[in-house]
Amino acid sequence: MKIGLVLHEIHHSENELAKKLLHVSERHKVDHEIYHLARDLAGWSHRHVREIAEIGQRYGQDLNPEPDSESGVLHDVLEKGSELIGRRAKAELLMLIDLREVYTKASGVSADWEMLAQAAQGIKHTDLLDVTKRCHPDTLRQMRWANAKLKETSTQILVS
């Protein structure tokens, strides 16, 4: 069975998505909606990491239940960079790039959840299927948020 491999990959991908969301939050701190919502969405990925680590043990995976985090120095640099960039045009383009990256990362995580759910159904592992049913909708919502923000802001940013 290769389910352990998918669990390992999704554990890594959820950590990367959470880090990207926190990065976006810090980089675009002046936009309060992005700052607060991206932090909330990162918290969802952190919860997913813990759930994946727990279920992963049943499939031979020793995954860290604690989400990866950025170092304090990097956090300070990102925070200062956010203050310096402010609302300049370059910051707006960076926001589009960041939102696109969140969208693509969340899309990849969503595909992983879908594969895992299909496998769990196929082998009738209800505990694994339950994890996918709890986590996958959150990932879809993360993806829809990034897509909606892209739609909301891209015209104004790109034509100004």
Q: How confident is the model at residue 144 (pLDDT cuts 50, 70, 90)?
A: very high
Other Cβ atoms less than 10 A from the Cβ of 87: the count is: 10
Q: How confident is the model at residue 157 (pLDDT cuts 50, 70, 90)?
A: confident
> Residue 115 belongs to what domain range?
3-159
Condensed to tens digits (0 to 9), the pLDDT of residues 46-87 reads 999 999 999 999 999 999 999 887 544 455 555 555 455 444
Q: Is 58 helix (H, G, I), strand (E, B) or coil?
A: helix
Q: Give the separation between CA 46 and CA 43, rounded to whole angstroms.
A: 5
- Alpha helix ranges (H) inside the chain: 3-27, 32-56, 72-85, 89-123, 126-159
Condensed to tens digits (0 to 9), the pLDDT of residues 82-92 reads 455 444 558 78
What CATH number corresponds to the domain at position 27?
1.20.1260
What's residue 1's pLDDT? 77
Number of domains in the chain: 1
Q: Residues near 84 by Cβ (< 8 Å), separated by ≥ 6?
A: none
